[in-house]
Amino acid sequence: MAKTYYFPPIVIMGPGAIELIVPEIQKMNVKKALVVTDKVLIETGVVQDVLDVLKSAKIPYAIFSDVKPNPTVANVNAGYQALLDNECDFLVSIGGGSPQDTAKAVAILGTNPGDICDYNGVGKTANKSLPIVAINTTAGTASEATINYVITDEKRKLKMVIVDPNSIATVAVNDPVLMMKMPKSLTAATGMDALTHAIEGYTTAGATPFTDMFNIEAIKMISKSLRTAVADGDDLDARDTMAYGQFVTGMGFSNGGLGIVHSMAHQLGGFYDLPHGVCNAILLPYVVAYNADAVGDRLKDVAIAMGVDISRLEPKEINIAAIDAIKKLSKDVGIPSGLKEIGVKKEDFAVLADMALADACTPGNPKCPTKEDVIAIYKAAF
């Protein structure tokens, strides 16, 4: 069956990448940027590094920094108003998934009518978004590379997963120098988010030989470099490898889909306002165990990519070894061991399960879960 694949038209990677955005902006025939970011990145000086590049090229801009870690409909509406008030015609997003997703939503509203809630789901817009220069500062979400973005409807306590080729960035930028200012905890959480993308993307029902190529390579890079990036944030090689790893899997899962790790994690984030990467990391080994009998030899490939010696293991032992490798990496980088530690409540499992089953990522899972299955996974990860 024929399939269409989507990628950012222009990708800039490596140390010093932000210096190369100017000629790409100049080709766009645009007048003024809305810089979408968050207050923490302004305080750390990361945003200023990018603003200096824009200033040197005399590119006008306005700044919008009212973005929550789990961006909301209210954040998007405020960003869109800032776009209008400042007469901006393109966006420069600086940050991890939160600013990137907010910028995508604002850029979509810049060319499509209505409310962002109107576009919840798959491919509901008619028009390409305003141009976006997406400058990633975390090695995790790959939102700068994907056709997906996630916005929390705070009224319904629901994370809307919006899948839309019209939202893909015009220029995707990964400069590992900007990532060197990330704290250990954020490096760990975003890194495990990227690993989740890669493993789910490799085992999803929508995987193809094309997406496999990206996802299995990403597992190798992330498994090799995440511990070092967490332990020594100034290690530029580790940061660079993580930047490539998260971006590579972004191109994979954006075109192949994910599964119920993300479906379940989205609900935890929307319901409790928890960090997405941490939720993914805690759930990942338990979902992998649930799916193990439906993915053929793919966990063998995962184990090898994570550096496990499988030469003397039986098939069932290989699956267990892959799951153990995931748990060990998560523990080594300081991820909490269970959902209880991050404030999740057992009495909410039933409603969380209902919401997870309705999530856009669920159809990609290699097994078709029941509500009881999802509740059982939440319990196992508690």
Tell me the C-alpha distance between 372 and 338, whole Å. Answer: 19
- pLDDT for the residue 26: 96
pLDDT at position 159 is: 87
Looking at residue 143, its amino acid is: S
Question: Could you tell me the pLDDT band of residue 341, with boundaries at 50, 70 and 90?
Answer: very high
Domain ranges, ordered by start, for the chain? 10-179, 184-380
% pLDDT > 90, the chain: 95
pLDDT at 42: 95
The average pLDDT across 306-313 equals 96
Phi, psi values for residue 220, rounded to 5°: -60, -50
The Cα 298–Cα 319 span in angstroms is: 9
Q: Quick one: pLDDT at residue 157?
A: 84
Nearest residue to 70 via CA among 112, 108, 38, 106: 38
Q: Please state which architecture CATH assigns to domain 184-380.
A: Up-down Bundle (1.20)
Query: What pLDDT, on a 0 to 100 scale, did the predictor assign at position 158?
Result: 86
pLDDT at 1 over 90: no
Across all residues in the chain, what is the average pLDDT? 96
**Tens of pLDDT, residues 274-294:** 999 999 999 999 999 999 999
Mean pLDDT over 227-256 rounds to 97
102, 68, 119, 110: which is closest to 85 by C-alpha?
110
Q: Which two tokens stand for residue 1?
A: 């069956």
Rounded average pLDDT over 134-150: 94
- List, in sequence order, every beta strand (DSSP E) within the chain: 10-13, 33-36, 61-64, 90-95, 121-122, 132-136, 148-153, 158-163, 171-174
Contacts of 242 (CB under 8 A, 6+ apart): 139, 176, 179, 187, 191, 194, 221, 222, 225, 226, 229
3-state secondary structure (DSSP) of residue 296: coil
Q: What is the mean pLDDT of residues 7-31?
A: 97
Percentage of the chain exceeding pLDDT 70: 100
| Chain centroid, CA 137 distance in Å | 12
Strand ranges across the sheet with 171-174: 10-13, 171-174, 132-136, 90-95, 33-36, 61-64
Question: What pLDDT, on a 0 to 100 scale, did the predictor assign at position 262?
Answer: 97
CA distance 23 to 84: 25
- What residue type is 86 in one-letter code? N
Per-residue pLDDT tens over the stretch 43-69? 999 999 999 999 999 999 999 999 999
Residue count of the chain, please give it: 382
- CATH tag, 10-179: 3.40.50.1970
Tell me what pLDDT residue 316 has.
Answer: 85
